[in-house]
Amino acid sequence: MTLIKKILLFLKRESKLFYSNIVDLFSNILFFFLSIFVFVFSLGADQELLRTIGLGIIWSLLLLSSTLSLRKFYEDDFNNGVLTIIHMGGISYELIVFLKILSHFFFVQMPFLASIPIASLFFDLPVNEVYNLIFTFIIGSLILSCLSSISASMNLLNKTNFAIGSIVVLLFSIPVIIFSVGINNPDINVNSLINLLIGIALIFLGISPWSSAAFIKLALRNK
Amino acid sequence: MLLINNLSFSRNKNIIFENLNLSLSNQSITQIRGKNGSGKTTLLQVILNILESETGEIFWKGKNVKKNIFNFYNETTFIMDHNTCTKKLSVMDNINFWRGLSSSKLTNNQILLLLETFNLQKYQNTKTMYLSSGEIKKLELLRLILEQKKLWILDEPYNHLDDLSIKILNQTFIDHKKKDGVILFTSHLNPNIDNLEVVNF
């Protein structure tokens, strides 16, 4: 019971921090829309072309936008010792990471859901593709949150080259993009792709708490 | 209460301390005194299992700390040399977070009284980023009373404090000692506390 209270307390703190950093979220969403404008204006008014490549562009930009908030994942709490204090409060590093992933998923990724239908208008995507995009984004963004956690915790060990974290996210998210964009291919079974995405999400949900916690512990020892 | 046996730690082949033995009994205040860079903070981090020792063992109430780490943490408050409060949250938000984390039984009225003692009551709803270094340090030290733990481990607790706050802190130490508490702190200063045990480092 005490642990559940502590978990709820942790999530409450994360939500408060999210509201105090809401400008960051708006700048991420602004980056997303401005990048879409750049693509739309550079590709011209070919409606068929925009419709064909729209889904891929939206997914790629969602991915790039989510890497913008990577640095915020652990850095502040690590540098000021809050992670140690929370751990001393009886929460293992693995659970801290899991809760951080959940809060990143809800407070950083989910607000993008609202921007997806608007972004789809610029590419004139059919309604069923927009539904598919939203559905794959919900699963894919959970995978991205897990990847962000791993790379952000790796960054704690490497304070000089921040780009490495983003590279890790981009590299491992290629399968997510392939399966997410492939969902609108009429020759492919939708259910099998969704099952694959859910499978990847579950694998990363299993791996990331342990790997990120190991990186955090290592970083604390090298602090 | 706290027994440190043959503790050694080195970093990058530099020996920070070697075969260190220390015993802290009930109702004791122990200062680890040493100049800057002598390894005082490292020692506290090794005791708290944040850093891993090369040799030696630490026992709390007769039980090996490493094997019962959460039991040990459950009875320990650690005040770091830097501030652990979240600067984007208000004073009260930070206090409520610490209170929940340590399952403290202190009531809202008692907390308000504490804030008054440390002259922080007017900043209850102010984000901590707008507080001075001394005020943030006082807020941090509130955790000692808030968490109601038996063992207090503090790293340079006198930094940024004015004379009045130092007096209040010393009195808080003495009160905790009378309540069967154990205090271990590092400092390069010579605080005015009766029956203070000093370990030169």
Q: Is the pLDDT of residue B75 over 90?
A: yes
Evaluated on CA atoms B160, B51, A221, B73, the torsion sign reads negative
Identify the band that residue A157 occupies on the pLDDT scale cut at 50, 70 and 90.
Answer: confident
Q: Is the pLDDT of residue B126 over 90?
A: yes
* Chain A: residue whose CA lies nearest to B9: A221
DSSP string, B127-139: BGGGS-HHHHHHH
- CA B194 to chain A, closest CA, distance in angstroms equals 30
Residue A89: C-alpha distances to residues A37, A48, B62, B93, B103 (Å): 47, 57, 22, 16, 9
Chain A residues within an 8 Å CB radius of B136: none
A42 in reach of chain B (CB within 8 A): no
User: Of A64-73, A147-156, B21-30, B92-101, where does mean pLDDT reach its minimum?
Assistant: A64-73
- Among the partner residues B84, B100, B103, nearest to A81 by beta-carbon distance: B84
Residue A78 and residue A219 in contact, taking contact as beta carbons nearer than 8 Å: yes
Q: What is the mean pLDDT of residues A4-15?
A: 93
- Among the partner residues A77, A88, A221, nearest to B73 by beta-carbon distance: A88
Q: Which residue has the tokens 């239908």?
A: A117
Nearest to A93 by CA among A215, A223, A190, A222: A215
In tens, the pLDDT along A12-65 reads 999 999 988 889 888 989 999 999 999 889 988 888 888 888 888 998 898 888
A6 in reach of chain B (CB within 8 A): yes
Q: Supply the pLDDT for residue A193.
A: 87
Chain A residues within an 8 Å CB radius of B85: 80
Q: What is the mean pLDDT of residues A203-218?
A: 94
Asked if the Cβ–Cβ distance from B101 to A20 is below 8 Å, we say no
Q: Is the pLDDT of residue A181 over 90?
A: no
Q: Which residue has the tokens 């005015």?
A: B192
**Stretch (H or E) spanning B23:** strand B14-24
Q: Supply the pLDDT for residue A172.
A: 86
Q: Is the pLDDT of residue A166 over 80?
A: no
Structure-block tokens of residue B6 = 């043959």
Q: What is the mean pLDDT of residues B120-137?
A: 91
In one letter, which amino acid is A75?
E
Torsion of CA B187, B191, B197, B200, to 10 degrees: 40
- Among the partner residues B74, B97, B127, nearest to A9 by beta-carbon distance: B97
Q: What is the mean pLDDT of residues A155-162?
A: 78
Asked if the Cβ–Cβ distance from B86 to A220 is below 8 Å, we say no
B72 in reach of chain A (CB within 8 A): no
- Among the partner residues A16, A85, A88, nearest to B93 by beta-carbon distance: A16
Q: Is the pLDDT of residue A3 over 90?
A: no
- Among the partner residues B78, B97, B127, nearest to A88 by beta-carbon distance: B78
User: For every residue of B52-85, which 3-state class applies, written as one string?
Assistant: CCCEEEEEECCEECHHHHHHHHHCEEEECCCCCC
- Residue B162 neighbours by CB under 8 Å, 6+ apart: B134
B60 in reach of chain A (CB within 8 A): no
Residue B128 and residue B89 in contact, taking contact as beta carbons nearer than 8 Å: yes
Q: What is the mean pLDDT of residues A124-145?
A: 90
DSSP B12: T
Nearest to A218 by CA among B144, B54, B51: B51
Overall residue count recorded for chain A in this entry: 223
Q: Is the pLDDT of residue A1 over 70?
A: no
Asked if the Cβ–Cβ distance from B73 to A5 is below 8 Å, we say no
In tens, the pLDDT along A63-104 reads 888 778 777 789 899 999 999 999 999 999 999 999 999 999
A80 in reach of chain B (CB within 8 A): yes
CB atoms within 10 A of CB B93: 21
In one letter, which amino acid is A74?
Y
In tens, the pLDDT along B178-201 reads 999 999 999 988 888 888 899 888
